[in-house]
Amino acid sequence: MTDYVIAAMLGCWRWESGVNPGIWESQVVKDWHYVYGTDGEHMGGFGLGQWTNTGGDPNGRLWRLHEWVTSNGYADGDGAGQIAYIPIENNWHQHSVMGYTSLQEFMESDSTDLNLLVEEFLACWEGVPGDHLAQRQQYAADFYTYIQQHKNDPPGSFTWTSRNGYLTESEMFGNAMAAYFQLGGMGSFHLYGAVRDVLRRLIIHA
């Protein structure tokens, strides 16, 4: 994955969660089966991308995130687990502005049009075309600049911070770089993910 693609994803996630894998929407903890809009409440999102059960489905994206990460040895608020889950979930709404028909096509994009990549990820992965687009694009540009400044730092310099509360600027950018180094290793992500998951299960059940 290129720096442009990763920065686009991070820009969207900053709007959603502040790049915080442990935060609930409005910091209100809900059950994993909670459906957005229940009792008129517009809440229930969790994690980096604010996964949410929508459409009346209590076993929607939020539940499936929880089920997968905890079944594979991660805590719910573990950023590494959420990043690992993204190609497994393989979510992609057909609202493309770039012609991509799948998450894999997006993740393998060689486009250098950062603004367009943000628009694509917002529309097709998050499924809310145009929502606060300009702000997300500015965030993506900020992350792209930061990545260029720190991409040659040792990967171990950056660790995940996760809590149901707002992060400091330093913690947020630290999380962004932790995500960057993990996402950068997902080139052929179907094979990578399959091997990783087999090894993880062997370790867990050994």
pLDDT at 206: 52
Q: Are 85 and 68 in contact (CB under 8 A)?
A: yes
Give the whole-angstrom CA distance, residue 166 versus residue 183: 23
Measured CA to CA, the distance from residue 34 to residue 102 in angstroms comes to 27
For 59, the token pair is 């076993």
**Lowest mean pLDDT, pick from 87-91, 123-127, 200-204:** 200-204
With a cut of 70, say whether residue 15 has pLDDT above it.
yes
Q: Write down the pLDDT at residue 39.
A: 86
Q: Does the pLDDT value for residue 87 go beyond 50?
A: yes
Ramachandran quadrant class, 130 (left: phi over 0; alpha: psi -120 to 50; beta: rest): left
Q: Give Rg (Cα) of the chain.
A: 16
- Across residues 163-183, what is the average pLDDT? 98
**Nearest-angstrom CA–CA distance, 201 and 191:** 16
Q: Where are the domains of the chain?
A: 3-18+72-205
pLDDT value of position 190:
41
Type of residue at 113? D
Interval 194-201 mean pLDDT: 46
> Looking at residue 174, what is its pLDDT?
98
Query: DSSP class of residue 166?
Result: P
- What is residue 193's predicted lDDT score, i.e. its pLDDT? 46
Sign of the dihedral defined by the CA atoms of residues 71, 73, 77, 80, in that order: negative
pLDDT, one tens digit per residue, over 106-142 is: 999 999 999 999 999 999 999 999 999 999 999 999 9
The predicted pLDDT at position 185 comes to 80
pLDDT digits (tens, 9 = 90+) for 54-79: 999 999 999 999 999 999 999 999 99
| Cβ-based neighbours of 17, under 8 Å, separated by 6 or more | 23, 45, 47, 48, 49, 50
